Amino acid sequence: MDITQESGKETRPQWDNKIQYLLTCIGFAVGVGNLWRFPYLCQIYGGGAFLIPYLIALVFEGLPLLYLELAIGQRMRLGSTGVWYSISPLLGGVGIASMIVSFLVSLFYNTLLAWILWYFFHSFQDPLPWSTCPLNQNRTGFNEECEKSTSVNYFWYRETLNITTNIETSGTIQWTVVLCLASAWCIVYICFIKGIQSMGKAVYVTATFPYLVLTIFLIRALTLPGAVDGIKYLFTPEWEILMNPQVWLDAATQIFFSLSVAFGGLIAFSSYTEEKNNCERDALLVGIINSATSLYGSIPIFSILGFKATSAYNLCKDRNILALTNHFDFPDQNITRDNYDYWIDHFNQTHPDSISGLNLRPCDLQAFLKQSASGTGLAFIVFTEAVIEMPGSQIWAVLFFIMLFSLGLSSMFGNIQGVLTPISDLKMLPKWIPDELVTGLLCIVSFLVALIFALGSGNYWLEVFNAYVGSVPLLIIAFFELVGVIYVRGMKRFSDDILFMTGKRPNIFWKACWMVISPLMLLAVLIAYVVLQAAKRPTYPSWDPSYESFPDTKTLEYPDWVFAIIILLCVVPIVSIPIVALHRLIRGGIRRSSPRSELSAYSNGGFDADHPESYNQKPV
């Protein structure tokens, strides 16, 4: 890691090389959502048809925002808070909002890593612990809850989470989860102990290893029975589903959150790169690789889903064949999977009453393929169930959870950097406090707050944070980022900045997106999201063994006090934006970005970041 000293006042670290910087940005953008959110959206929204709104959102919303953040951070050499304050003191709250969102997201994101560690440690057992049901207390049979559901569900909901029946019942702390959570935060701290110097080394592994594992999984998954059916389902479009506005809304939000814009992490990362650097090429590279990873990762995921659906389809047939053979007293092997449909039609015509009395389960491959799951359901239930049927299941489980951990860890780097860089740029702590101690205190505080996710109700709370912390706040932050750069700093000055950094001005496409298209798309997505959320009371799925339809989850409405917390999670991160602006207005501190404000203490001929009044100094 190089340390630059320009202006003789401040030093700012820089990346060792361009590859290190790009890998960090790619690692931040490419996360677990690329593997367990994108395939889910493709599955429920008509396969290949979903790619049309997704790519439109990428081109007109995602890439312009990504380019803007990389460019403004690279030019101004500051983190998110410093950038927006230097553009205008009225916008100082935008950076604070990004910092709060990054902090809140890191709380539940690292809990996901803790759960992944838990499964990783258990993946070395033979047989896998989620492959069979445990015995009951009397050791006279299998556990009743496990028998009613599946061994995979039981291991996730009972052994891992020990989940309560609703969010209002806290339950007890799962000390095994606490241990894994502490381990996850220790790993994050070790990677950050020397700031971007140590993180830059770690990213060589965390950003590249998932692609190696994905390729291994792709080769193996394509050889599984039913893989072709899964891939066909992925790429077969259902065009009529494009008439559903929810598809376009989910596509816009997916590309927005997938690129990790508005968190402040990308601005922080780009502030450590060379000032003369082609940030346009970087934005295109990061954005395209991120989306390509989603598509690339979907192929092995859908191959495995196709294998799982085929296994369930065959099992369904086998059970029905056994019932038919016993009822009609047929010789074994007379009814097979190959002639199953013939015999079903035959019996329906000749013995309709007998067939209806057997309560045979309908066996439809397409129905099994449509059984969707996302997030933790895909990783800890669907995949773990499929891996049991794969030869060498321990190896595939270990590889899968190492891959997920690498993806999550590289994304955590951006979340933590989105908090640490603003703390440093704002001079919130005395200079004599070492960075290692600041990082350690942040990890300890985060660990203590995240203990809420280790309770019996922790999974419910994680879903609350996941659904609402990164929704409305990020959309509003991104909108103010566009307004701040294009309409406060000014399109002409920003164009000059890009000319200085890249040697050419942005073309008409980028200008049209920044000035009109992207802000309008953000407003449309924000309004549509709020309207859809306000139209119905928020609900959540609960795991209740006493539910009459168990093992199906029971849908419950959030109680009033939880609903109030949801509103706070949406409002608190962004309340700093109007508060800071109002504070500056009252103090009369309205100052438009000056020519001098384009530089920080770390850029050539920069100003002293310790003295805000120097923002208005005239060029020398």
Map tokens 């395209």 to a residue. Answer: 288
pLDDT score of 26 more than 60: yes
**46 is an annotated ligand-binding site residue:** no
DSSP code string of 327-356 = HHTPPTTSS-STTHHHHHHHHHHH-HHHHH
**411 is an annotated ligand-binding site residue:** yes
**30 is an annotated ligand-binding site residue:** yes
pLDDT score of 248 more than 80: yes
pLDDT score of 10 more than 60: no
If you average pLDDT over residues 388-403, what whole number do you get? 91
pLDDT at 3: 45
If you average pLDDT over residues 572-593, what whole number do you get? 81
pLDDT at 5: 42
* 3-state helix vs strand vs coil in the chain, percent to 5: 70, 5, 25
Alpha-carbon dihedral of residues 229, 234, 236, 240, nearest 10 degrees?
130
pLDDT at 121: 96
pLDDT band at 592 (very low <50, low <70, confident <90, very high): very low
Task: Report pLDDT digits (tens) over 447-457.
Answer: 999 999 999 99
In the chain, DSSP finds a helix count (H) and a strand count (E) of 29, 4
d(CA 510, CA 515): 8
pLDDT score of 482 more than 90: yes
- Tell me the CB-side half-sphere exposure of residue 133, using CA atoms within 13 A: 18
Helix extents (H) in 193-244: 196-206, 209-221, 227-235
**pLDDT higher for 283 or 311?**
283
Residue 459 tokens read as 């999974």
Map tokens 């553009």 to a residue. Answer: 87
Please say whether the beta carbons of 598 and 75 come within 8 A.
yes
pLDDT at 7: 38
Task: Output the CA–CA distances (angstroms, integers) from residue 431 to 10, 24, 420, in the order listed.
Answer: 12, 27, 14
**379 is an annotated ligand-binding site residue:** no
Q: 50, 65, 462, 464: which is closest to 250 by C-alpha?
A: 50
pLDDT at 421: 86
**29 is an annotated ligand-binding site residue:** yes
pLDDT at 372: 61
pLDDT score of 604 more than 70: no
pLDDT at 590: 52
d(CA 297, CA 48): 14
pLDDT band at 549 (very low <50, low <70, confident <90, very high): confident
d(CA 65, CA 328): 66
**34 is an annotated ligand-binding site residue:** yes
Element (DSSP H or E) covering residue 539: strand 539-542
**pLDDT higher for 289 or 12?**
289
Map tokens 């030869």 to a residue. Answer: 391
Pick the most confident of 59-73, 137-151, 417-431, 460-474: 59-73
pLDDT score of 601 more than 70: no
What are the residue boundaries of the structural domains of the chain, listed by start? 18-591
If you average pLDDT over residues 46-56, what whole number do you get? 86
**258 is an annotated ligand-binding site residue:** yes
Pick the most confident of 80-89, 105-114, 239-248: 105-114
Q: Which amino acid is at 68?
A: L
pLDDT score of 11 more than 90: no
- Mean pLDDT check: name the lowest of 322-326, 330-334, 466-470, 609-613: 609-613
Task: Report pLDDT digits (tens) over 425-442.
Answer: 777 788 888 889 999 999
Task: Report pLDDT digits (tens) over 484-534.
Answer: 999 999 999 999 999 999 999 999 999 999 999 999 999 999 998 889 888
Proportion of the chain above pLDDT 70, given as a percent: 92
**549 is an annotated ligand-binding site residue:** no
pLDDT score of 606 more than 80: no
Map tokens 């072709």 to a residue. Answer: 228
Q: What is the CATH number of domain 18-591?
A: 1.20.1740.10
pLDDT score of 239 more than 80: yes
Average pLDDT, the chain: 87
